[in-house]
Amino acid sequence: MLKVSREAIRLAALVVRDGGLVVYPTDTVYGLGCNPLDDVAVSRAFFLKGRKDVPVPILGDSMESLERVAEFDEVAYEFCSAFWPGALSVVLPKRLPLERVTCGGPTVAVRIPASQVAIELARLSGGLLVGTSANVSGEPPAFDVLELDKRIAEGVDMILDGGRCAHRTPSTVVRIDGKSIKVLREGAVSVNAIKRRIEDLGLDLKLE
């Protein structure tokens, strides 16, 4: 376990690039990260969480990085740009197979977090990072390293201690399908906030 610093983030990125697992702070909860393009690393993350067939999200350091794995049409691009960096995950059609991350499904959840630690870790790791919560499936998420389940803490290769997370609430998850948006999970970004932003931007989107 290392306190967050530039050197600690650099070392954590080396772990990710080498196929390892890292616990790191985001703007919402502590995340369990690895290279999303490394099926062995992703499988290890699933095993550690006790997760089987529930897809995991991908965090990116930029829209350009996320465009490698998700398809953004013009409306989706404008919508995401309005909320990122931020605590809103968006489910979009995937561009790469990503069989382990997506559990074979046609879509992938992506986000640019409002956490410089997470963004920098993603950047140094190649631009992309698995962004699933650092908890055993079915158990509460950790907002501080002191809240990490022992199985998670002992099962990863490195822990970045960044103190308490800012929001202390999981991200909101929405799915964009054509010109409609469906809220799959309301979290740090409220449904009302999404409605107001859509109206302010004049987007041709219907919130379900």
Answer whether residue 184 shows pLDDT above 90.
Answer: yes
**How many residues in total does the chain contain?**
208
Answer whether residue 21 shows pLDDT above 90.
Answer: yes
Cα 92 to Cα 17, 19, 87, distances in angstroms = 25, 26, 16
Mean pLDDT of 189-197: 90
**53-104 pLDDT per residue, tens:** 899 999 999 999 999 999 999 889 999 999 999 999 999 999 999 999 999 9
Specify the pLDDT at position 208. Answer: 75
**Residue 175 — very low, low, confident or very high, per pLDDT cuts 50/70/90?**
very high
Report the domain count for the chain.
1
With contact defined as beta carbons under 8 Å apart, do 174 and 182 qualify?
Answer: yes
Answer whether residue 186 shows pLDDT above 80.
Answer: yes
Its domain, for residue 127, covers 2-207
**115-136 pLDDT per residue, tens:** 999 999 999 999 999 999 999 9
> Which phi and psi (to 5°) does residue 9 adopt?
-65, -40
Nearest to 15 by CA among 133, 129, 100: 129
Specify the pLDDT at position 62. Answer: 97
Specify the pLDDT at position 165. Answer: 87
Q: What is the DSSP string of 158-206?
A: EEEE--S-SS-SPPEEEEEETTEEEEEE--SS-HHHHHHHHHHHT-S-E
**Residue 143 — very low, low, confident or very high, per pLDDT cuts 50/70/90?**
very high
Mean pLDDT of the chain: 93
CATH number for 8:
3.90.870.10
Specify the pLDDT at position 166. Answer: 79
